[in-house]
Structure 1
Amino acid sequence: MNWIWWTVWFILLVWVFATPYNIPGQRHAKENALEILKRRFANGEIDHKEYEERKAVIEKK
């Protein structure tokens, strides 16, 4: 009976640590500044001029 519990714990640990990061409601990798800037430009929140200015500042770092 003891080996059943070890198997259950092992499966649970593998499931927790091996799940992909892009599943909705799960852990997410953080976006970097350039990805956020691209998303804002794609959504129309900023114009092309502002996008290029901010991109130049980000790439300078």
Structure 2
Amino acid sequence: MFYKDGFFWGMHLIWWAIWIVALGWIFFAPTSSSYEEIEGDDPLMLLKIRFAKGEISKEEYEQSKKLLQSDK
């Protein structure tokens, strides 16, 4: 188990493996972005978000809402 000057190389390799797994998890773990999912999936939700941000007026919101609901 002990090699060259008393270093335990098995433990050294275990620490390398832990670092590689940790870095892989940090950089390659899937992330979820709920805003992108909402924005891409539901036009009515996007309309609500734009209205909440103040990008469109109440009248524009109501018109667009009626138009979107009539298409279904």
Q: TM-score, normalised by structure 2?
A: 0.47
Which of 1 and 2 has higher RCO (CA within 8 Å, sep 6+)?
A: 1
Residue 57 of structure 2 corresponds to 47
Equivalenced residue count is 54
Which residue number corresponds to residue 7 of structure 1?
A: 18
Unaligned regions of 5+ residues in structure 1, if any?
22-27
Amino acid at match of 1:12: L
Name the one with the larger helix percent: 2
RMSD: 2.6
Residue 58 of structure 1 and its aligned partner are, at CA, apart by: 3.3
Identity across matched positions, percent: 31
Gaps spanning 5+ residues in structure 2: where? 1-11
Q: Structure 1-normalised TM-score?
A: 0.52
Larger Rg: 2
